[in-house]
Amino acid sequence: MDVFVERTGTNSQRVPQGSPQPMHTPKVSDTVDSMKATVPAAMITAPGSGQGKSMVTAALARLHRNAGRNVRVFKHGPDYLDPMVLEVASGQPVYQLHPWMTGEEECRWRLTEAAQDADLILVEGSMGLFDGDPSSADLAKLMGIPALPVIDARGMAQTFGAVALGLATFDPELPVYQVIANRIGSPRHGDMLRESLPEGVSLLGAIPRNDAMNIPDRHLGLVQAGELDDLDQRLDAAAQVLAEAGLDGLPQEVTLTAEAPRPTPRLLEGIRIAIAKDAAFSFLYRGNLDLLSAMGAELTYFSPLTDSDLPEADALWLPGGYPELHGATLAANTPMLEAVRRHHASGKPMLAECGGLMACTETLVDKNGDSHAMLGLMPGRVEMAGKLQALGLQSLFAEQSELRGHTYHHSRLETGWVPTARTRKIAGTEAEPVFCHNGLVASYFHGYFPSAPELVAAIFRGEAITPIPSSKETHHA
């Protein structure tokens, strides 16, 4: 593999790299204005959800990592759970790429920056290849990364070729040259699938049905990586399945370019933020944590499930997660509940997102109908519903800036509080309520912090959020 890195700007240089495992080059310095890199890359996608692309992506990452390669994996769209597994598989941090939520500029920068010392870049798509706006296909086209669909071949023969043909020709700007057949029944089945493919589309590999290719899931997606004690063994076994299917080669090289990001303002200098992080509260984007640190904040972590007190902190963050699965344990940890109540009573800033909001109510009713006493910082209760209650991309518009993000929850909130603001869907209609009270900002909304550093800093400094009326908002495609 002949890979090179070319940097342009004040320190322009070309650094040759050897084959098959390239030398790692240093990260770009702050003085570099733009950067360019060539690296093997692929967008692992599918015709729809449930095809097995998440496990195929994780297994590919582990396969190449075990071969001594430096693998960087990214995830298209909002998602907390897949990245947890992908980080274990690759041994590297996993970031989101989404042209609307994270922005095209950040997508380019993260990919190109990763390519400086990566031997392989994999991007896991979301839903079906063309689903959503922006879709995985949109990201692949913008970044110039080829799409590699994973197709569940169970119960199919010639129809497999029809599905591949549709994916390959639906968008002339995104050609599909190879596909992966997943969950085949036999070698002969794989041959039939290969023979069904149209001209110009080849079968990269056929993965047999194998328990090693499965990871448990629940109502929000995959089971959290930290809950699977044998995840490493599962990933190694899955990697071996892919190796035996002939999927150990590198994809085609792509050339990535990006402008250096703008300097991050030090808006949280000297602020110490305590972040809940355990099996009940774990939905944390690395991009969010990186931004807080870049703005000068000191981050510390605690467990509402097992700790008895909060660390010393100026602000508190209860992120999303699965409090509904740990209601009894949370309710029984009286010392921690009292510590959080004291923090709120003092007027210190506190952000509660989705699962964090659920914990702030008086009562949480789980899927079994059992009630658990929560923090009681806001009146009312949340109850798990039998189906999805909200899903989609949204924005919070305030005088400071527009915070982009999303919502995804299965619970219903009943409260007497009047929302201070409401998020808005991309189409402009009102969505999730945002409650602000005595330093607390609580909502089902999950924000992507780098989209609005000023607003995020204001929240953690305890400053008032002044929503912008919908008539003054500027919506972006």
How far is the CA of 405 from the CAs of 293, 298, 397, in angstroms? 20, 23, 11
Alpha-carbon gap, residue 248 to 268, rounded angstroms: 45
Q: Establish whether the linkage from the previous residue to 304 is cis, with ω within 30° of 0.
A: no
Contact by Cβ (8 Å): 182, 56: yes
- Please name the residues in contact with 188: beta carbons below 8 A apart, sequence gap of 6 or more: none
From 107, 354, 360, 436, active-site residue: 354
Active-site residue 354, yes or no? yes
Alpha-carbon gap, residue 121 to 111, rounded angstroms: 8
Beta strands (DSSP E) in 125-235 are 147-152, 178-184, 202-208, 217-218, 221-222
Q: What number of CA atoms fall less than 13 Å from residue 296's CA on the CB side? A: 13
Contact by Cβ (8 Å): 216, 222: yes
How far is the CA of 414 from the CAs of 296, 365, 378, 434, 448, in angstroms? 37, 11, 10, 13, 26
Tokens read off for 294? 């870049």
- Please name the residues in contact with 135: beta carbons below 8 A apart, sequence gap of 6 or more: 127, 128, 129
Amino acid identity for residue 2 in this structure:
D
**Residues catalogued as catalytic:** 354
